[in-house]
Amino acid sequence: MRHSLSTNTGDFMGFEHLMSFVADRDEPCPMCEYSLRGLTEPCCPECGAALELRVGSPQLRVGPWAVAMVSFALGLGFDGVVSALMIVALAVNPTAKWEPIGIASGFVVLTGVMVLGLIRIARSRSAWTRCPVHTQRIQAAAVFVSVGVLHAVVGAAFFLVVS
């Protein structure tokens, strides 16, 4: 076969593979789940969605990485709101006591840690997908537990300060 095949020919070849793949399989349309058995065009006969045959990888799951993202995002949401409320309260009602200032500072630091964690996880998407799925799940669980334990420890420290 010559290498001067046009892109259109390449697409047609891909469609040939798709047609032979679904020729005797009840493979569902990824959009509407209509059976694509005996497909004659590169689109779903039911919903009209364009179709293509692809090579996939089970490592490309978004779940574990999303759990890690959500762990930091939840922490950021909580710490950010508490920080903002405490800063506003201290601005409205200034105090010389170190406890409220210390606790507000603690929440600002926690917010910063959550932002850094979120950025780190967001940037490591391709590194996650290069790991086996079980490793990705362990990493996600480790992030979730670490964020929880960090908040439990800091919360306990604040409780001891206040009481």
Instruction: State the residues that interact with Zn ion by CB under 5 A.
Output: 29, 31-32, 34, 44, 46-47, 49
Nearest distance from C-beta of residue 11 to Zn ion, angstroms: 19
Cα gap 29→124, rounded to integer Å: 32
- Residue carrying structure tokens 């959550």: 114
In the complex, least distance from residue 53 CB atom to Zn ion, rounded to whole angstroms: 15
Smallest distance from Zn ion to CB 67, Å: 30
Choice between 30 and 77, CB closer to Zn ion: 30
In the bound complex, what is the minimum distance in angstroms from residue 18's beta carbon to Zn ion? Answer: 14
C-beta of 149: minimal distance to Zn ion in Å? 46
- CB closer to Zn ion out of 47 and 81: 47
Nearer to Zn ion by C-beta: 39 or 110? 39
- With vertex at residue 160, the alpha carbon angle to CA 93 and CA 111, rounded to the nearest 5 degrees, is 60
Of 45 and 102, nearer to Zn ion (C-beta) is 45
Other Cβ atoms less than 10 A from the Cβ of 79: the count is: 22
Residue number, 30 or 63, with CB nearest to Zn ion: 30
Taking the C-alpha atoms of residue 12 and residue 24, their distance in angstroms, rounded to an integer, is: 20
Burial code (b: 16+ CB inside 10 Å, e: under 16) for 98-128 equals: eebeebbebbbebbebbeebbeebeeeeeeb
- Please state, as a whole number, how many other Cβ atoms lie within 10 Å of the Cβ of residue 72: 23
| CB 90 within 8 Å of CB 104 | yes
